[in-house]
Structure 1
Amino acid sequence: MQPADEILVGGKWRGGSGPVIETADPATGQVIARIHGAGVDDVADAVRAGQRAVADPAWRDLLPHERARYLARIADLVDGHAEDLARLQTADTGKSINETRALVASAAGTFRYFAAALETLEGALTPSRGPYLTMSVHEPIGVVGAITPWNSPIASDAQKIAPALAAGNAVVLKPAEWTPLVSLALGRLVTDSGLPPGLLSVLPGEGRVVGDAIVRHPGVGKVSFTGGTATGRAIGAVAAEKIMPVSLELGGKSPTIVFPDADLDQVVAGVLFGIFSSSGQSCIAGSRLFVHADVYDEVLARLVERAGKLRVGPGVDPATQVAPLVTHAHRDRVAAMVDRARDEGARVLCGGRAPDGPGAYYPPTILDGLDNDSATCQEEIFGPVLVALPFADEDDLVARANASVYGLACGIWTRDYRTAWRVARRVEAGTVWINTYKQFSVSTPFGGMKESGLGREKGREGILAYTRQKSVYLGLSEDPLPWA
C-alpha cells in the first residue's frame, strides 16, 4: 500500500512542487520511500479547491445523516486495509506492529464515532425574551488546516479530519515531514470513498514552509495543530493577526503519583506502560514519577528490574515492547539529554546508553537524584526516559506536580478514592487517570492546560470546534416594531 511519488491536492493526485522527502525505516536506517513534498503553490491550489468544494451544493446542502455516510464509508475502508496501513506505519515510524494496529483501529473508530455523533448533533432552541423565536445553529468554517505529528499519524489525522468533515468543512492536512506515508495512504482511501473532490488535500512537507503557508493563507479559517509548544506558540501568533480560531495540542511533562496504599503490582505495570510504550514518544507520557517516601525504594527497585526485561527490538516483531525511535537524529537528541541529566547529578538506575549497531534504538532509562526544577525534570525529552522523585507531603507534592509550564496529563495510584479525587482536582492537567494510564476514548474530550495547549478534541463537542455559531431570531409579532 506504499504510495507513489504523488500528493493529494484538491482531490487530484500529482507530483508535489516541493523538495524530495526521504523516509527511512528507523529499525534499519534504510530508505523506504522518496516523495516530492508540497510547496507553497500546492497549498494555494488546495485551499482554492477546498473553497469550491464547500460552496458546491453537492456538499453544502447535504443533510447531516448524508455527510455521516461518507464518514462511515471511510471507516469501513480503513478497517478493510487495516493490516496494510499498520505495516506501512511501522515501516515509516518504527513503532511496534501491535501499536500501529491499535492506531489504525482507533482511526477507523474515530470516523465511525463522528458519523454517529453527527447524526445526533442538535442545535438549540433558546428561551425567548420577547415576541420572537430564538435559535442557535452551527455552520461550517470553510477550509481548515490540520497539522499532525510524526508519533501517531493516522490516529491524529482521523481526530482532525473526521470532525472537520462532519461539520461540513474542507481539510488541508499537513502530515509530519518525517512520516508522511500512512497519511497519504489514508488520503487514497478517502478518495476511494467517493467524498466530493477538493474536500481533502494531503500536503507533506517542511513545517516552516508548507505548515506556515497553510496557517497564513487568508482562505484558511481555522488551524488544528498537534506538536511542539514552540511551533504552537508561533501558530497562535499568526492566528491572533488573522483573528482565526486555533486548536493546539502541545507538549507535556506529565506527573505520575504513587501513594503508599497503592497496589504496587498495578503501579509497576502502569508506570512502565505510561512512559515506555511508544518508546516514550508520546505527549502524555508519564515522564515525572512522584513516589511516596514510604514505598519509594521498593517501587524503584521493581521498576528497574522490570524495565531491564522489556523487549527492545524492531517494530515488525510482535514481541517487541520498545521499538526504535523515529529517526537516528531524534535518538541522538534523547541520548544528549540523558548525558545532560548526568551532568546535573542524576543517578542512572538503568539504560542510559544507546546500543551499538544499526537502528535508532534507545533502552528504557530510569533516573533519580534530581530536583524537580532541574532541566531534566522540566523539559520534554520525548523518549523512553523516566525521572523519579520522592515525596512525603501532599501539599508539597501538588505544588511540585504543578511546577511545570505544561499541564497535559497526570496519573494517580491509590486505593483511597477520596485522596484520588482530591488530588485529581488540584493537579493542573487536562486529563487525569486514576489507577490506570494512557487510556483513551474518542467520546471523551482531550486537551491541555497552560503551555500544553488550547481547545479540546474528541467528544461530540469536537464537531462544534470546527463550526461557527450563529443566532437566528424569528419574529412572531404581527405588529410593527414600536420604535418606528
Structure 2
Amino acid sequence: MPDTAAARTTRLLIDGELVAGNREPIRILDPADESVFAWSASASLEQLSDAVSAAERAFPAWRNTPVSRRRRTLREIAALLREHEEELAVLLTREQGKRLTESRGEIDRSAWWFDHMAEIDVPWDEVVEEDDERTVRVRRVPMGVVAALAPWNFPVTLAMWKVAPALLTGNTVVLKPSPYTPVATLRIAELVCGVLPAGVLNVVTGEHDLGAALTSDPRVARIVFTGSTATGSAVMRSAAATMASVTLELGGNDAAVVLPDVDIDVVAEKVFLACFTNNAQYCLASKRVYVHASIYDEFAEQFVRVAERVRVGSGLDPDVDLGPVANRDQYIRVRGLIEAATHRGLSFHLRGAIPEGQGFYIHPHVVDDPPEADPVVAEESFGPIVPLLRFHDDDEVIERVNASAYGLGGSVWGADQERAERVAQRIDSGIVWVNETQRLSPAFPLGGHRMSGLGSENGLDGVLQYTNVQVISIGRNT
C-alpha cells in the first residue's frame, strides 16, 4: 500500500486554536487507490475534555449574542464554504470516494443549509395567555454544549446539519467527525476559526473511544448523532445517565414500491439512482425494490440495462458514474454480504465485477426476488447490492414494507398519483416520496420511525429541538 510523501496533515480546533492531536495520527486512505493522502490529528481523551470545557466557557457569551449577529455568522460560514467549494470537494472525494460532482454538491448543500437556517423564523418569545390577572410567555432558550457526531457517508453535510441550527439557537458545539473521513471537516474548522468566538465550535477527531466519552460527558446538554442503529442505542444508554437531550438519525431499510402503470424506461433509471447513489452508502437509499408482478420481468431487464451502463472508477474521473466503496472495513463487509448471498443460493439478475488490485471497487449487484426473510432484504446492506421483489396488490406490498424494524424513508412510483399517494400514506416511515426520491431541504424535518431514530433534524421542528422551553408567568401587581 503506497504512502504519499506529501500527504496532508490536519489539526484539531479546540478553544479557537488549531492544535495537533496528542495521539498517533490516523492514516487516511484514498479509497480509489488505497494511497495515504492525509494524516489526521487524533485527539486524546484529555483534549476531548478540553474541547467540552472550551464550549462550556464560551456558552454564556454566545447565548447572549444577539440573534441578528448569530444569523450573520451563519451567512459568513456559508460564504466561506462557497468560496472554498472546489478545495473542499477534492478533499471530500479523496477521503470518501464519491464522485467530484457529488462532493461539490455536498459542499454547496452545506452552504445552503447555513443560509437557510439564518432565515428561519424561530418563535423565541411568544405570548400565549394575557388577561387582567397575568401574562404568560413561552420562551425558547439554548441548552448549552451540543455534542455533534457525524458519519462517513456524507461527512460534511451531516455535520453541518447539526452545527448550523446549534449555533443559530445560541448553543456551543463539540463536533466529532468519523475517523474515516475527518479531513474536509477539519479544513472547514480552519476556515471558520476566525469567524466564531473561541470555544463556540470545537472539532476533534480520533479513535472510536472519543464518541463514548463525549456522549457520556455530564457537561453535554444535547447529543445529535447520525449513524448505525447499534451505535445509536449505545448513545441513548450514555445519554440516560446524564439526561442529555438526544436526536438520533439511524439506519434505514427503505423500500421503493413500483406500481404497474409506470413508464418502465423512465422509472427504472430513477429507481436505480435511488438505490445506488453514493454507492448505496446512504441511509435513505432504496435498499429493497418491490415491483408489481405484471411488470416485474420487463422492469428487471431495464434496471439491469441501466446497471450495465454504469462506469465505476475514481471519483476524480469526470467520466465515472460510481466511485469506490468508502473504506476498507465497509468494502470487506459488502464483499462478505455478496459472498454470503451466493452461498445461500440466491439468484442474481446481475453479478457486478469486483476487480482485483488497488481500490475498493464493487460494481452493482442485483438480486432476483429473494425470500422476504433473507438478510439481503431484511437487513441494511449499505453497499452496491439490491434485491428486486415481486408483489401482487397494494395491501400485500404495504404489509411487507412495514414488516421491517426500520422506518426512515421510502418511495412510491406510479402514473396514477392518487393511488401512489394512498400507498405512500400507509408506509410507516419518516419521509416517503412519490415519483421522486431523496429530495431533502432545510425547510422540512427528517426523522425516523421505530429503529430508524428519535427526534428530527432540519426545518423549524429540527431547530426547536436545540432549545429548551421556558415559561414566564407574570401576575399583575395587587
Distance 1:335 1:129, change over 3 A: farther
**Partner residue of 1:238?**
238
Query: Is 1:403 matched with 2:406?
Result: no
> SS at 2:70's partner residue?
helix
Q: Provide the residue aligned with 1:41 in structure 2.
A: 46
Work out the CA distance in 1 between the residues paired with 2:229 and 2:423.
26
> Which residue of structure 2 lines up, in the alignment, with residue 140 of structure 1?
142
Q: Which residue identity lines up with residue 27 of structure 1 in the other structure?
A: A
Aligned AA for 1:55? P
Which of 72, 76, 81 is the matching residue for 2:79?
Answer: 76
Q: Secondary structure at the match of 1:41?
A: helix
Name the counterpart of 1:101.
Answer: 104
Q: Give the equivalent residue in structure 2 for 1:188.
A: 190
**d(CA) in 2 for partners of 1:403 and 1:5?**
45
CA displacement 1:112-166 (0-9 Å, x = unmatched): 1111115x64432113477110111111111010000001111111100000000
Alpha-carbon distance in structure 1 between the residues aligned to 2:407 and 2:132? 44
1:229 partnered with 2:229: yes
CA distance in 1, matches of 2:83, 2:123: 28
Q: Return the letter of the residue paired with 2:36.
A: V
Partner of 2:205: 204
Deviations 1:408-437 (A, max 9, x none): 110100112221221111111111111011
1:68-124 superposed Cα distances (whole Å, 9 cap, x missing partner): 010000000100000000011000111100100000000100111111115x64432
Q: What's the CA shift for 1:352?
A: 4.2
Q: Please state how far the C-alpha of 1:334 moved relative to its aligned partner.
A: 0.4
Query: Residues 311 and 321 of structure 1 are in contact (CA less than 8 Å); yes or no, is this contact kept in structure 2?
Result: yes
- What residue identity is the alignment partner of 1:307? A
2:150/2:177 contact within 8 Å kept: yes
Q: Which residue number corresponds to residue 22 of structure 1?
A: 27
Whole-angstrom CA distance in 1 between matches of 2:244 and 2:64:
25
2:176 aligned partner, one-letter code: K
Q: For each residue in 1:174-207, what CA deviation from the matched residue of structure 2 results, as whole angstroms up to 9, or x when unmatched?
A: 0000010011011112113x21010111111122
Q: In structure 2, what is the equivalent of residue 170 of structure 1?
A: 172
- Is 2:123–2:140's contact at 8 Å kept on the other side of the alignment? no
Number of the residue aligned with 2:3: none
**2:296 alignment counterpart:** 296
Q: Is the 8 A contact 1:408 1:449 kept in 2?
A: yes
**Are 1:124 and 2:129 matched, yes or no?**
no
Alignment check: 8 A CA contact 1:287 1:387 kept: yes
- 1:156-167 equivalences under 5 Å are 156-167=158-169
8 Å CA contact 1:121, 1:460 repeated in 2 = no
Cα contact 1:296–1:390 (8 A) shared by 2 = yes
Letter in 2 for 1:33: A
1:348-396, Cα deviation, whole Å (9 max, x unpaired): 2213441122210000110023111111111111111111110002111
Distance in 1 between residues matched to 2:298 and 2:132, nearest whole Å: 68
| Residue 53 (structure 2) pairs with residue 51 (structure 1) | no
Q: CA deviation at 1:461?
A: 2.4
Instruction: Give the drift of 1:343.
Output: 2.5
Does the residue aligned with 1:436 lie in a helix, a strand or coil? Answer: coil
What's the CA shift for 1:288?
Answer: 0.2
Distance in 1, Cα, partners of 2:239 & 2:353: 42
Report the equivalent of 1:482.
Answer: none
Q: Is the 8 A contact 1:134 1:472 kept in 2?
A: yes
Q: Which runs of 5+ in 1 are unaligned?
A: 480-484
Corresponding residue of 1:389: 389
Distance in 1 (CA, whole Å) between partners of 2:339 and 2:131 is: 66
Report the residue type matching 1:355 in the other structure: P
Structure 1 13/2 Cα, relative in aligned 2: closer, same or farther at 3 Å? farther
- Structure 1 residues 129, 372: CA separation in 2 closer, same or farther (over 3 Å shift)? farther
* 1:213 counterpart SS class: helix
1:362 alignment partner AA:
I
Q: What secondary structure sits across from 2:77 in the alignment?
A: helix
Q: C-alpha displacement at 1:441, in angstroms? A: 1.4
Per-residue CA shift, 1:12-31, capped at 9, x if unaligned? Answer: 11111233211011001000
Over residues 292-316 of structure 1, what are the superposed CA-to-partner deviations in whole Å (9 max), with x where a residue is unaligned? Answer: 0000000000001110111111100
The amino acid of 2:256's aligned partner reads T
**Aligned partners of 1:431 and 1:447 also within 8 Å:** yes
Q: Which range moved further: 433-442 or 283-292? A: 433-442
Q: Secondary structure at the match of 2:222?
A: strand
d(CA) in 1 for partners of 2:58, 2:253: 41
Q: Which residue of 2 aligns with 1:440?
A: 440
Instruction: Give the aligned partner of residue 117 of structure 2.
Output: 114
**TM-score, with length taken from structure 2:** 0.96
Amino acid paired to 1:464: L
Local SS of the residue matching 2:457: coil
The separation in 1 between residues aligned to 2:41 and 2:316, in whole angstroms, is 27
CA distance in 2: counterparts of 1:45 and 1:328, whole angstroms:
32
SS in 2 for 1:77: helix
- 2:152 aligned partner: 150
Find the counterpart in structure 1 of residue 345 from structure 2: 345
Which amino acid letter does the alignment assign opposite residue 171 of structure 2?
N
Matching residue of 2:470: 470
Runs of 4+ with deviation above 4 angstroms = none
Give the direction of change, closer, same or farther, for the CA distance of 1:155–1:252 in structure 2 (3 Å limit): same
CA contact (8 A) 1:335 1:353 kept: no
Q: Does structure 2 conserve the Cα–Cα contact (< 8 Å) formed by 1:2 and 1:185?
A: no
The percentage of aligned residue pairs carrying the same residue is 36
How many residues get paired?
Answer: 473
- In structure 1, the partner of 2:69 is 66
